[in-house]
Structure 1
Amino acid sequence: MAPIWRDNPRLETLYQRVLDYPLPPRTRDYFPMDRDVTFGKNLVMGSGRYCDYRIRLTLHTALTQEEIQTYYSKAIIMGAETKAMISLYFEDSDDAGGRRGAVEAYDSHGWNWNWRCM
């Protein structure tokens, strides 16, 4: 159970860091009760034995894609061992002039005897 006791707090810490990072201006968390928090093997495909952490928030914003990309390009959110990788996904603008999208923080490390990463 030691690897699970180690990796579960790492996932929780990454999740809290993502939530603590301020959202861009004129942006809100679209589904605060339905966030995606995932831990497992090779979440972004590929081969090998890796333990991956992924946090995904759905956002609604009045900003352009470029403004959101600029904002998150400066983000420093530490992962389990290094800086988390940030990815952004967008939908087209809605009738009210806003846009829905997602911000995803991802981190990974080599297999460390956690059976969930085998």
Structure 2
Amino acid sequence: MVLTEAAPEALPKQRSRWPFYVCLTLLVCVVANVLVFKVPEWRNDEKLARLVERVSMFPLPPDTEPADLSVQGTVGIQSGNGNHCDYLVRRSLLTKLPDAEIARYYESAAIEGLEGRPLSGTVYVNPSGSWRDGFKGVIVEFFDGPHEPGFDMRCH
């Protein structure tokens, strides 16, 4: 057997593997971030969507119409100082009803909350006067909280 020495340029070059490991590490970090932080946000958004749907399906009182077709919902810390999730659903309406009557209608509402407890609405009347044809603007809010936040960063 004869051993020969090969020239260094004739030897095959080994590829560096560090770019592969850097990319793999970044991918693992992104997937971990989605699993730990985004999935709880998506779950809370789904709960909020169901609550918004229940508020939207609640019948309007007589002489009342929506001022805005969309119903607004928010997840996060709405009251208190942290480490819990609150859900707030807001609906903007136009009504001819007296202030006390519209307030009584929504205070007696029994919309099912996230954990089955009935929610009543709080009515805020626009103090700036009437809109058109005797209608005045009101905002009705339904608040449900506090709930366990999980890893939803909006609730910490």
Question: When the two structures are superposed, what TM-score results if normalisation uses the length of structure 2?
Answer: 0.67
Identity %: 34
For residues 1-118 of structure 1, the aligned pairs below 5 Å read 1-33=38-70, 35-40=71-76, 42-44=77-79, 46-81=80-115, 82-92=117-127, 93-94=129-130, 96-108=133-145, 109-118=147-156
Aligned partners of 2:66 and 2:101: how far apart in 1?
17
Unaligned stretches of 5+ residues in structure 1: none
What per-residue deviation string (whole Å, max 9, x for no partner) do you get for residues 10-69 of structure 1?
Answer: 100000000000011110010114x322111x213x213111111111100000011101
Aligned partners of 1:66 and 1:72: how far apart in 2?
10
The structure whose residues are more often helix, as a share, is 2
CA RMSD of aligned residues (A): 1.7
Contact 1:88 1:103 in 2 (8 A): yes
> CA shift at 1:2, angstroms?
3.8
Question: When the two structures are superposed, what TM-score results if normalisation uses the length of structure 1?
Answer: 0.86
Aligned partners of 2:114 and 2:44: how far apart in 1?
8
Aligned partners of 1:87 and 1:68: how far apart in 2?
10
Contact 2:51 2:113 in 1 (8 A): yes
> CA shift at 1:8, angstroms?
1.6
Unaligned stretches of 5+ residues in structure 2: 1-37
Aligned partners of 1:110 and 1:104: how far apart in 2?
21
The structure whose residues are more often strand, as a share, is 1
Aligned partners of 1:48 and 1:38: how far apart in 2?
15
Matched AA of 2:40: P
